[in-house]
Structures are given as structure tokens and as C-alpha cells.
Amino acid sequence: MSGAHVRRRRGPWVRRLVLALACLVLLGAAWTGARAAGARGDLAQASRLVAQLEREARGGDIAAARRTLTALRAETRAARIRTTGPDWWLARRAPVAGPSATAAQTLVQALDDVARHGLPALLDAAGGIDLSTVVPRGGRMDLTAVAAAAPALAGADAQLRAVLGRVAAIEVDGLVPQVRAAVTAFREGLDRLVSLTGAAVRAATLLPSLLGADRPRTYLMLVQNLAELRATGGMAGAFAVLRADRGQLRIVRQGAAATDLKAFTEPVLPLAPAMRLLYTDRLGTYPANVNLTPHFPTAAALAREMYRRRYGQTVDGVLAVDPVALSYLLRATGPVRVPGGRSLTADGAVATLLSDVYLRAQDAGAEDRYFANAARAVFDALGGAAVHPRTALDMFARAARERRILLWTADPRERAAIAGTVLEGALPERDGERPTVGVFLNDGSGAKLGYYLRPAADLRVTGCRPDGRLELAVRVTLSSTAPRSGLPRSVLGLGLAGDPYTVRTNVMVFSPAQGAIVTARMDGAAAALGTGAERARAVGVITVDVPPGASRTVEMTLLTAPMPRGSRVAPRPDLWLTPTATAWRTSVGPDHVCGRPR
């Protein structure tokens, strides 16, 4: 899964890093004179080589990438040598500049280690993988080739994690701003790369079992309709059951949630009181509402039990995809013909599936039938001879990063292996170094107007409280491009906002773990706020009605749990969002130094 993904993502952050380090070494000229200037030149040349290596790796020319890597290693090695010796020894012990000089030297050494060990291991892994073997051919994947890639990927992952451990140990408090910025950029970039290599190792290890190497597997695949929003993306309109047997994948059943799974009179699984308070019993009784919660494992377990009760079969896992993910995959397959409708293309699939199909529908079930046929057509095309393997892997990785492909498995060992990855779709109960805020959207219109919604979010640290808690401000803006007339009843639905063309959305803001929600405003005025809790997070719920052509803004003040004692730098928070038909416009503020914004 991740060979192409790693190659595609590696270059940009490394290039930015070496440019940051070049500026850092220029700053260090006061300490080390001409040696610092020489190191700056080494790092500037390294930046150019990284860009070249990225192009070659993405183009699949591993031999050329290896030659470029040899030149890159020479430059990072030279920079390492220039930042050692008596002058740097003295600089590290200077009363004021010492910690920053030490951090700068550590970063140069870490970059050299990545070039000498991490990147060669990645190229070894990439060079040993024939991408044509890791996408289905004739509906079957070569599981032996996938498993064979695991050792090389694990070696690359181990090398990078070792470097990350050293960089993570750098204490950033007290560093000069340029050095602190370089440390943060390197740590974040390397952390992202390690996340990718870790995902690649897990994929190479897990795919054989997931695809039935040891025994046949069955999966319930939910196609999320982004025209009617739910926290994980969209309501489950169509579904399919996949059977995996020794690498061969086929669809064995298809249906519509509303007409085939139907509603239940009581929740199919016990719901905790806090969950019932937030979502009512609808979470466990209506197939279209299992993902009112952003926690996909909960939604998957409910959908699995609903399917078992209706069909008497217990599936081995639950998979969710959405039309945007399908549009990405169409870039690898080319246009596909959908029975009962027009062909799908990469550029037109989202509009076709989320808008055009409703405008052309002849009866109430036509949309779900077309959704089901479209999913099957793309699925079949992915196993065809015309698929481009590298593009398919890149697009799968992109969809997974955006949480447009989610996976839950009943096997505890497999669940443990995907825990913490984007595929899991689980908002963690504990935050790491960076506090996490979630903004999730659930349709309140009873309509298919989500296609016309344009969301934006801004998140930043605004202060540090005496008790060690950080104060955060989140601003969510929803705009509607819906027309004022002319939409069919299949789009307007129940019209629960009163005006059938007004988009009603229940906006759910999840505080950081162990945090709190302090205030809420809409369009600058105090607003009524529903409250609850899920996964050790305070939850605020506010209903937002957006008429055609209008925008509404929700602002909330949040608190984190107390930060570690003695920490002066408030880290940049993470922002988790509901995937929508149109990408969010987002802004996440920079780190904040307690007592004085940086």
C-alpha cells in the first residue's frame, strides 16, 4: 500500500527541513564562522538533491534515485563534519546560545542519519516491490509478494524511529525562535514519515490475513453518501458484502440500507447513557445513523450487528468508502461504465453521484441502485488490466489520509495492528504531545443538501492558564451554494429547517481529551449549546441553519487538560474533521509561548 505513498510524501518535508537548517546554520555563523557558512552551502545543495530524488522516486526510477541519494549523503556528511569540532564544542557551552547550538548540531546529525540509513532502507524497500503485484489482477492480489515486502519496510521504519527518538528528546523551551522552529519542523516531518512507514509495515503484514490467506473473509462495505452528512462522512445509503479468499476479492451481495437493512425497534447493541444522550436510540436502530458518532469502531460494530440480524451472517469486518475516494481511484482505472447510468470519470464522479443522480432519478430507489452499481463498477475496474498500479496506490493512500476509507475488523490482533492509524477512524481517548479538537457534522435537514455545503475551520491556542491548561479558540464557518429553487423532492427531502432549501447541520465540537468547552457563540452572539461527553472529551452541539448563498459562523472557547509542568511552549493543536464533498478550508495556528504569543 505505502511504497508509492512514502515516496510521494517524503521529499517535501525533507526539502523544507534542509532549507530551515540552512537558515539555522547561517544564524550560527556568529559561533562558528566560515565552517557554518560551508555547512549552509552543503545544506542548500542537499535541498536541491532532495527535490531531484523525490522526482526520480515518484517516477519509479529507483536506480537514478540511488545515485542521487549517494550525492545527497555526501552533502549531509559534509554538513555534519562542519558542525563538529572545538568551535562547536565551545558554542554548545555558551551561556545563552549553548542549548540552541546543541539543538542545531543534533538536527544536522539527524538529517545525515536519515540520508545515510533511513532513506537507503526506504529505497531498498521500494526497489524490491513490483507494484504490479500489490494491486489486484483479474480480481486477485499476489499475497506472497506483499508479505515479502514486509522485512525491508520494517528495517526502514526502525531506522527512522531511532532518529525520531533522538530528535523528540530535544527540549525546545529556551531555544531561540529559529532553532525552535527547525526542531518542530523536523520532528513533525519525521513523525509523519514514520507514520507512513509504520502504516506500510502494517499493510504488508496485515493484508495477507485480511485478504484471506489463511481462511476466507467477508466484509460489509458501506458507501457513505456525502450529500447527507454524518460524522464519519455521510449516511450509509448503499452497501455491499465482499468475500476475500487467498487474495481474490469479489462482491457477493449488494443492497440499500433503507430498504434492505431497514430500521429496528430497539438498539441492536447496548448504548451507554452518554451515547444515548448525545445521539438518542437512533444510533442503534437506523442503519443510516450508525455513524452519527465520529468513532468508526462504534459505527462498524452497530452496522455489523444490523446486517447479522437481517441476513443471519456475521461478517469479519466493516469497510467504509465515499464518492470522493471512488473519484480518486478512477484516476488509476480511467472512466468506468455504470449500468443504468452514465459513465464515471475522476473529475465528474462526485457531481454525478452526489447531485446529478438525484436530478435524473425516476423513482425513490434509483439513487441507491446507482450508488451500488457505481461501487461495483469501480471495484471491478480496479482488478482490470488497465489499472495503473502506482496511481492506484497513491490514490488509495490519499483517500485513507483524508479518512475517506475506514476499516474495522473483528480480529483483536488485526485491530491492535491498525490502532492509531487513519484507517481505524477512532478519535483517541488520550492526546499525545498535541491536543486534538474534533469538528464533526451531522445533517439536520433530512435532505441531500450536503453537496452544497462549503465548510471552513480555524483553530489556535489563545492563552495559557495558571493551572497549566491551554485555552483554544475554534471557529467554524458553513456556507451554502444551494440554489433557491428548482431542486427535486429527492434532494429537498424532509425540509426540517422549514425552508426546504436551507441546509440544517448539527455541528459537534469535541474538546481535547480531558478538556472542556467554555463558551459558544454564533455569528458573534451567545448561542444555545447542547452538551455531552464521548471518549473522555466534552462535546458541544449547536444547530446551524444556512440559507442559499449565506454563511454562518460558530465560535467556541475550549480548554485542554493541564500541560506538563514547566512547559512554556504550547504545541500547535490537531484538527479532526468530517470528510465532505468539498475539501474544508482550514487554518491551524502556530505554537504559542505561554505568556507571550510567538
Q: At which residue does the C-alpha cell 513490483 appear? A: 130
DSSP H helical ranges for 211-281: 273-279
Beta strand 551-559 with 470-480 is antiparallel
pTM for the full model? 0.80
The CATH architecture that domain 436-593 belongs to is Sandwich (2.60)
Cα first-last separation, the chain: 39
Contact 558, 511 (CB under 8 A): yes
Instruction: Produce one character per residue of 221-259: b if its CB has 16 or more CB atoms within 10 Å, e if not.
Output: bbbbbbbbbbbbbbbbbbbbbbbbeebbbeeeebbbbbe
Q: What are phi and psi of 349, to 5 degrees?
A: -65, -40
Where are the chain's structural domains? 3-210, 217-418, 436-593
3-state SS record for 439-498: EEEEECCCCCCHHHEEEEEEEEEEEECCCCCEEEEEEEEEEECCCCCCCCHHHHCCCCCC
**For every one of its 598 residues, what pLDDT tens digit does the chain have, with 9 covering 90 and above?**
444 443 334 444 455 444 444 444 444 433 344 455 555 555 556 656 766 776 676 666 778 888 888 888 888 888 788 778 777 777 777 776 778 778 778 878 887 887 888 778 777 766 656 555 566 666 677 788 777 778 878 888 888 888 888 888 888 777 777 777 777 776 776 776 777 677 778 778 888 899 999 999 999 999 999 999 999 999 998 999 999 998 888 999 999 988 899 999 999 999 999 999 999 999 999 999 999 999 999 999 999 999 999 999 999 999 999 999 999 999 999 999 988 777 899 999 999 999 988 887 666 667 777 888 888 888 888 877 678 877 888 888 889 989 999 999 999 999 998 888 889 999 889 998 889 999 999 999 999 999 999 999 999 999 999 888 999 999 999 999 999 999 999 899 999 999 999 999 999 999 999 999 999 999 999 998 999 999 999 999 999 999 999 999 999 999 999 987 666 667 889 999 999 999 999 999 876 777 544 4
Which H or E run includes 577? strand 574-577
CATH for 217-418 is 3.40.630
Beta strand 585-588 with 453-464 is parallel
For the record, the C-alpha cell of 10 comes out as 517524503
Q: Is 16 exposed, middle or buried (0-12, 13-18, 19+ CB in 10 A)?
A: middle
